[in-house]
């Protein structure tokens, strides 16, 4: 009986310790949504001119839409050629369940295969008093492989409503390439803004912001980028319907005024209402 009572005393003394450990562990941080790194370019995939070509004859059959498509493709090219691996890896990681490490830090891992190359992705999220600190490490297997390259990092609010990513160009050239600021509205992405930050490049400080609204034209871009033809930065606004695909664009440098120029659901020029 005495041994039994002694055992109960020991268990009662240790219980607060075990409970405290569980309490300190808490819940994992709210993951930024997969869409926090991506912009929807699907409405502007058919243009064929380069991003620096601004010689589209005004008033031709689909010049309004094509002008908007050129600026969108500039950014789409950056994502496809430079950020395909980290963005795809992040999407795979967000599908997994995390494990607790230490110091209020959780880890998500996933295997991502892209163009017959396998990558191991490791995302950590550390909870602090004011935000969550994120770090994404990528390991490439096979020829030219590397281990635990910090491809991007960032912070987010504890409730997951906004944050910023900082992405680096590559393992071979680990310089900052761009930042991505994002917000969530309700349970959907509200806005995503890419800002090109690489030094020594004419595109430095160029940006594109994408967002969704409740308007009839429910999607928008706000774009500013260096255009070689004008040898200066130009700015444009684009609005379109994600269901009907009609939209409008305005750019003082290109059109010579601040009016809107529209296209219909077939991407053909129409008079704005």
Q: Which helix (H) or strand (E) holds 236?
A: strand 232-240
Please indicate, yes or no, if residue 243 is contained in any of the structural domains.
yes
Is 262 found in the same domain as 222? Answer: yes
Please indicate, yes or no, if residue 30 is contained in any of the structural domains.
no
Is 265 found in the same domain as 191? Answer: no
Enter the DSSP assignment of 27.
Answer: P
Among 167, 198, 229, give the residue marking a domain's end.
198
Is 232 found in the same domain as 141? Answer: no
Please indicate, yes or no, if residue 107 is contained in any of the structural domains.
yes
* Pair 216, 34: CB distance under 8 Å: no
183: burial class by Cβ within 10 Å (0-12, 13-18, 19+)? middle
Per-residue pLDDT tens digits of the chain, which is 273 residues long: 445 444 444 444 444 444 444 446 789 999 999 899 999 999 998 644 433 333 455 557 899 999 999 889 888 887 888 888 999 999 999 999 999 999 999 999 999 999 899 999 999 999 999 999 999 999 999 988 999 999 999 999 999 999 999 999 999 999 999 999 999 998 889 999 999 999 998 889 999 999 999 999 999 999 999 888 888 899 999 999 999 999 999 999 999 999 999 999 999 999 999
| Distance between CA atoms of residues 10 and 15, nearest Å | 9
Is 185 found in the same domain as 221? Answer: no
Please tell me the total count of domains within the chain: 2
Is 180 found in the same domain as 116? Answer: yes
Is 177 found in the same domain as 142? Answer: yes
Among 198, 222, 240, give the residue marking a domain's end.
198
Is 233 found in the same domain as 176? Answer: no
Please indicate, yes or no, if residue 106 is contained in any of the structural domains.
yes
- Residue span of the structural domain in which 192 resides: 92-198
Among 169, 198, 227, give the residue marking a domain's end.
198
Is 157 found in the same domain as 111? Answer: yes
Is 255 found in the same domain as 232? Answer: yes
Please indicate, yes or no, if residue 129 is contained in any of the structural domains.
yes
Is 167 found in the same domain as 129? Answer: yes
Is 229 found in the same domain as 181? Answer: no
Is 225 found in the same domain as 128? Answer: no
Please indicate, yes or no, if residue 17 is contained in any of the structural domains.
no
What is the pTM for the complete model shown? 0.84
| Distance between CA atoms of residues 261 and 270, nearest Å | 8
């Amino acid at each position: 009986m005495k041994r039994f009572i002694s055992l109960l005393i020991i268990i009662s003394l240790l219980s607060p310790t075990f409970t405290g450990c569980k309490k300190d562990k808490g819940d994992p941080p709210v993951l930024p949504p997969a869409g926090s790194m991506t912009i929807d370019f699907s409405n502007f995939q058919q243009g064929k001119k380069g991003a620096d070509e601004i010689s589209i004859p005004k008033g031709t059959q689909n010049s309004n839409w094509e002008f908007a498509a050129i600026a969108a493709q500039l950014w789409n090219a950056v994502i496809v050629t430079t950020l395909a691996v980290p963005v795809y890896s992040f999407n795979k990681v967000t599908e997994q369940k995390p494990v607790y490490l230490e110091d209020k830090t959780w880890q998500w891992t996933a295997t991502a295969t892209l163009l017959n190359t396998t990558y191991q992705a490791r995302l950590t999220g550390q909870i602090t008093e004011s935000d969550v600190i994120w770090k994404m490490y990528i390991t490439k297997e096979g020829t030219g492989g590397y281990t635990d390259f910090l491809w991007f990092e960032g912070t987010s609010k504890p409730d997951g409503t906004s944050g910023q990513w900082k992405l680096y160009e590559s393992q071979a050239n680990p310089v900052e390439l761009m930042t991505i600021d994002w917000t969530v509205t309700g349970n959907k992405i509200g806005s995503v803004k890419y800002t090109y930050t690489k030094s020594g490049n004419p595109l430095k400080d160029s940006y594109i912001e994408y967002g969704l609204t409740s308007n009839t034209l429910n999607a928008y871009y706000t774009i500013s980028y260096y255009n070689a033809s004008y040898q200066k930065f130009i700015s444009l606004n684009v609005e379109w319907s994600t269901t009907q695909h009609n939209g409008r664009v305005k750019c003082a440098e290109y059109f010579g005024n601040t009016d809107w120029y529209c296209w219909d659901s077939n991407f053909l020029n129409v008079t704005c209402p």
